[in-house]
Amino acid sequence: MTGEPSETIQQTLSDARLQLAIYSATNRLMTHRAGAVGPDLLPEYQELRNDANQLKKHTIDHLDYYLELFERNVIAYGGKVVYCTDSQEVADFVLSLAKQRGAHLIVKSKSMTTEEIHFNERLEKHQLEAVETDLGEYILQLAHQRPYHIVAPALHLTRYDVAEIFSKNLGVENEVVIEKQTRIARVALREKFLRADIGVTGANFLVADSGAVVVVENEGNARLTSSAPKIHIAVAGIEKLIPRAQDLGVFLTLLGRSATGQPLTVYTSFLSGPRRSGEIDGPDEFYVVLLDNGRTKLLADPEKRQSLYCIRCGACLNHCPVYRKIGGHNYPWVYSGPIGAIITPQFHGVLKDPWLPFASSLCGACAEVCPVNIEIPKLLLKLRSEVTDAQRREGQGGMERWAFGIWAWVMTHPRIYLMLARMGGLFAPMLPKVGLLGKWASQREIPKVAKTSFHQWWRERK
């Protein structure tokens, strides 16, 4: 294909240590998930998936209603809702608030949405420091890398890599014991938590009927982020809405299990509004930034709209044989794996990375494990045809279209087809291994053709 980062894909494929890191980490996640959704532990798993799908469908189909309901309830609890069209508007809001309050330091918990809008980099330009406090994200921030995986951002790094990153950036001795590395990060981050003026979290769910932001995590850093600083800002895509608090019974049951095999994550925080009088902790100010950043574009197509159902569990990445080979950084956007392959073209336009929907064997393992039943292979097929359509309009991809035109003609002319098949069988071994044949032969032998074709055998036995 053309356009894909073939050089870095090749590097990833030939890096034995990296391959092992990706394989063992995804294997572990797959095994844990399989155990957690097994019929003995969760006999209602398939029903839950259907429920989750229907709940998301309903919410996305009535997004305007639930956005308003959510906003009313956030306000009722003393919080504020800020609608932002794009990353610039998020940065403008945070910067102006920081300026008004004299804030200098922001602590952040893990959030793909803020990764999506390059939040940290935008603020850094204005001398506002934003520190990641999730261990994986902290490591990546020090190493200036983007997340490798939606749930396990530093999945590709070994403890030796982390030792190197820490000693280079934190001035500590080379430390390869994981527990001690965690201690190093904890000490560094604790000091940040105590000094921070603003805490920024993402949101796993926005609960419309209670104006609550729900955040799940395992390290306790999100809870600290949302409660220690005086100001809490939750940044979330508009698709994170769910109608009612009781729907969390469906989504929380699925999310932890699908992501890491945990029945529930270690911390599940329900955050609604700032600290009220009489409460001992919580922020003085509570903001929910509702980000569009292209999401409303996805609403336009009634079929592809289901891409917005995603709850970012990462199961499709773990089970994707392509992700497991090429890893996360070869995908063009922060969202990698199968979900990245279907949402990136919809956010950025199909011609930006036309190779992306084609980088799949359509094996369907992603759809099989998706907790909200997104029809990923079907959407990949749809996007593939949108790519070829767009290329035709732009006068690109003529060769391939021409070839498929000829192919369709041959396939509807059986005599020609048989003649060519016979010739192919005879001459294939002699053909120079260039073009498609060369691509095939770069990895495999050319199949041997039977001496007698089935057609011939059928005719002769009559």
Angle, helices 178-195/159-170, rounded to nearest 10 degrees: 40
Q: Measured from the CB of residue 436, what is the shortest distance to other proteins in angstroms? A: 5
Smallest gap, in angstroms, from Cβ of residue 359 to other proteins? 6
- Quote the least distance from Cβ 29 to other proteins, whole Å: 15
CB of 110 to other proteins, least distance (A): 29
- Please give the helix or strand (H or E) that residue 415 lies within, else none: helix 414-427
Between CA 232 and CA 91 the distance in angstroms is 15
Write down the least CB distance from residue 251 to other proteins, Å.
24
Q: To the nearest whole angstrom, how small is the minimum distance from the Cβ of residue 314 to other proteins? A: 18
Q: Would you say 79 or 354 has its CB closer to other proteins? A: 354
Q: How far apart are CA 188 and CA 165, in angstroms?
A: 14
| Least spacing, CB of residue 21 vs other proteins, in Å | 15
Nearer to other proteins, 37 or 216 (CB): 37
Taking alpha carbons only, the member of 371, 361, 359, 362 closest to residue 330 is 359
**Closer Cβ to other proteins, 280 or 436, answer by number:** 436
Q: Which is nearer to other proteins, 277 or 443 (CB)?
A: 443
CB 42 within 8 A of CB 268: no
Q: Give one DSSP letter per residue of 25-50, joined into a string.
A: HHHHHHHHHHHHTSTTT-TTHHHHHH
The Cβ of residue 437 has, within 10 Å, a number of other Cβ atoms equal to: 13
Give the 3-state DSSP-derived string for 85-143, with helices as H, strands as E and coil as C: CCHHHHHHHHHHHHHHHCCCEEEECCCHHHHHCCHHHHHHCCCCEEEECCHHHHHHHHH
Contact criterion met (CB below 8 Å) for 159 and 321? no
Based on CB atoms, which residue is closest to other proteins, 100 or 412?
412
- CB nearer to other proteins: give 263 or 447: 447
Q: What helix, strand, coil percent values describe the chain, rounded to 5? A: 55, 10, 35
| Residue closer to other proteins (CB basis): 159 or 439 | 439
Q: Tell me which DSSP letter residue 202 carries.
A: -
How far apart (Å, rounded) are the C-alpha atoms in residues 111 and 44?
A: 30
In terms of CB distance, is 206 or 387 closer to other proteins?
387
- The Cα-based distances of 328 to 18, 158, 340 in angstroms read 11, 15, 10
Q: In this complex, which beta carbon is closest to other proteins, that of residue 245 or of residue 418?
A: 418
Q: Between residues 170 and 418, which has the closer beta carbon with respect to other proteins?
A: 418
- The least distance separating other proteins from the CB of residue 263, rounded to whole angstroms, comes to 24
> Given strand 212-217, what is the order of strands in its sheet?
241-242, 205-207, 212-217, 267-271
Contact residues: other proteins, CB under 8 A = 1, 4, 9-10, 13, 321-322, 325-326, 355, 357-365, 367-368, 378, 381, 384-388, 400-401, 404-405, 407-408, 410-412, 414, 417, 436, 439-440, 442-447, 454-455, 458-459
- What does DSSP say about strands 212-217 and 205-207: parallel, antiparallel, or unpaired? antiparallel
Closest separation between CB of residue 101 and other proteins, Å?
A: 49
Distance CA 370, CA 384 (A): 21
Q: Are 166 and 184 in contact, with CB atoms under 8 Å apart?
A: yes
| Cβ at position 348, least distance to other proteins in Å | 18
Alpha carbon distance 175, 161 (integer Å): 10
